[in-house]
């Protein structure tokens, strides 16, 4: 298969970027990636992506945490089995506090893990074919074209009112 070149169009406005993303296929270019300084609804809508799956990690974490909390409290108190203040050895009302805190803690762990997994971070490799301006004020659309059509793609981007950056 012939070598591909990746070319990035940089736009000052995410509306334009979104438009480009929608038009790329028609123009016969394959969309690679979009970089933006902020989460842009327009771009995400243009990409018609399902919403992220982070939530499932969070939920799992939460459930584990809830039971872990209660388990810890109950296990330890049963181990020592000492009466304090006449309270029952296993008294769920106060143990709920432990359960609750653990729920939050573990959901957050789940959340962070989910975040890293889903968005594939840390990912130092991802910084090739990336333009620093994309963290500033530009919305970058990275598209690929088979060798020879670079010119067309550049024109395409420029017509849409963007600057162009070519990655060898």
Partner 1 sequence: MNTTMPPVQPGRNAAPQRSLFTLGAVLAAAGLAAFLAGLLGPHPQRAWQAFLINFLLWSAMAQGAVLFSAVTHTVKARWTGPLSGLAGAFAGFFPVSLACFLILLIGKNHLFPWLHEDLHGKEIWLNIPFLFTRDGIGFLILYGTGWAYLSQDLKLKFGTSAAGGGLRRMLAGRIPQSDTDIQRVQRRKNLWGGLYCFAFALVLSLIGFDLVMSMDPHWVSTLFGAYHFVKAFYVGLGALIILAAIVHLRRGRSAGIAAAHFHDVGKLFFAFCLLWADFFYVQLTVIWYGNIPEETSYVILRTVTPPWDALAWVVFIVCFIIPFVVLINRRIKTMPGAMIALCSIVILGIWLEHLLLLGPALNHAAAELPLGVTDGLVFVGFLGLMVLALAYTLKTFPEFLPPGGEAPR
Partner 2 sequence: MNRRTFLKLAGLGSVSFAAGCSPESPKYLYSLVQAPEDMVTGKATWYASTCRECPAGCGIIAKNREGRVVKVEGNPLHPLNRGKLCMRGQAALQAVYNPDRLKTPLLKEKDGFVPIGFDRAQALLKTKVWEAARRGADRVRLMTEVVGESQMEIFRAALKNWNSSPPVVFEPFAYEALKVANREIFGVDGLVSYRLDQADMLLAFGAEFLETWLSPVEYAWKFKAMHAARGPEKGLFFLVSPFQTLTGANADHWLACAPGTEAVVALGLVRQLLDIRRGKHLPPDLREALEKATEPYQQEAVLKLSGIPLAQYEQLVVRLTEARRPLVLGAGSGQSDANGLAANIASNLLNLLLDPELSLIDAANRHRVETAARRAEVLDLFKALFSGQSDVLILNNVNPVFNLPPENGAKAALEASNLFVVSLSDFIDETSLLADLILPGSLPLETWDDYSGWSSLVSTLQPAMGKITEAPHIGDLFLDVGFETRPVPDYKTYIAERLRKTGRIRNELEWMRTLQQGGLFPAAGQVTSASPATRPQRLPRELASPYESPPAGLAFAVAPSVRFFDGRGANKPWLCEIPDPISRVAWQSPVMIHPATAKSKGLRTADVVRVTSRWGSLEAPVYATEVVHPGLVLMAAGQGHTAYGRYAKDHGANPLGLLPSAVEPACGGTGCGLPDITLEATGRSVELAHTDGSRIQHGRAFILTTTLADLQKGPPPARAGLTMGDFPLTLPLPEGYDPKRDFYPPHDHDHYRWAMVVDLDRCIGCGACAAACYAENNLGIVGEKRIVQGREMAWLEIVRYHDERRMERVMFLPMLCQHCDNAPCESVCPVYAPHHSSEGLNNQIYNRCIGTRFCSQNCPYKVRRFNWFDWEWPEPMNLQLNPDVTVRSKGVMEKCSFCIQRIKEARTWAKNENRPIREGEVTPACVQTCPTDALVFGNLMDKDSRVRRLCDDPRAYQAMGYLNTKPAVIYLKKVLHEV
Partner 3 sequence: MTDLTYAQIDETVLNTLERPRPRYWVFVALMLCGVLLGAGAWAYQIFVGIGVGGQDIPVAWGTYLINFVFWVGIAHSGTLISAILHLFRAGWRNPIARAAETMTVFAVCCAGLFPFIHLGRAWQVYFMLPLPNQRLLWPNFLSPLMFDVVAISTYLTVSSLFWYTGLVPDLAVVRDRSTGLRHKIFRVLSLGWSGAHHQWLNYSRGYLFFAALATPLVISVHSVVSWDFALGVVPGWHTTIFAPYFVAGAIHSGLAMVLTLMIPLRRIFRYEAIITLNVLENVAKTMILTGLIVGLAYGTEYFIAWYSHNAVEWESFRWRAMGEYAYGLYFMILCNVLIPSLFLLKAVRRSVPWLFAISLAVNFGMWWERFVIIVGGVAHDFAPHAWGLYAPSLVEYCIMVGSFSLFFFLFLLFCKHMPSVSMTEMKETAHHAG
Instruction: Give the contacts of 42 (CB within 8 A, at least 6 positions apart).
Output: 14, 15, 17, 18
Which residue has 């919403």 as its token pair? Answer: 51
Residue 71, binding choice from partner 1, partner 3, partner 2, none, Cβ under 5 to 8 Å by partner class: none
Residue 147, binding choice from partner 1, partner 3, partner 2, none, Cβ under 5 to 8 Å by partner class: none
C-alpha closest to that of 50 among 135, 139, 118? 118
Give the nearest distance from C-beta 93 to partner 1 in angstroms.
5
Give the nearest distance from C-beta 93 to partner 2 in angstroms.
9
Q: Give the Cα-Cα-Cα angle 124, 131, 22 (nearest 5 degrees).
A: 105
Rounded Cα–Cα distance for residues 145 and 126 (Å): 19
96 part of the interface to partner 1, by CB under 8 A: yes
Residue 111, binding choice from partner 3, partner 1, partner 2, none, Cβ under 5 to 8 Å by partner class: partner 3
* Chain residues that interact with partner 1, rule: CB under 8 A: 85-86, 93-94, 96-97
């Amino acid at each position: 298969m012939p070598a591909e070149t990746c070319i990035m169009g940089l736009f000052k406005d995410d509306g334009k970027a979104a438009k480009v993303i929608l038009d790329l296929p028609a123009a016969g270019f394959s969309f690679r990636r979009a970089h933006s300084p902020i989460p842009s609804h327009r771009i995400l809508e243009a990409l018609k992506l399902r919403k992220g799956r982070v939530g499932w990690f969070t939920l799992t974490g939460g459930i584990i945490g809830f039971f872990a909390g209660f388990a810890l409290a109950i296990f330890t108190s049963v181990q020592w089995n000492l009466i304090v203040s006449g309270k029952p050895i296993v008294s769920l009302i106060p143990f709920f506090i432990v359960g609750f805190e653990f729920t939050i803690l573990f959901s957050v762990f789940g959340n962070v893990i989910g975040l890293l997994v889903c968005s594939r971070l840390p990912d130092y490799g991802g910084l090739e074919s990336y333009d620093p301006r994309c963290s500033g004020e530009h919305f970058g659309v990275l598209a690929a074209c088979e060798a020879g059509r670079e010119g067309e793609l550049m024109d395409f981007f420029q017509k849409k009112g963007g600057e162009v950056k070519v990655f060898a």
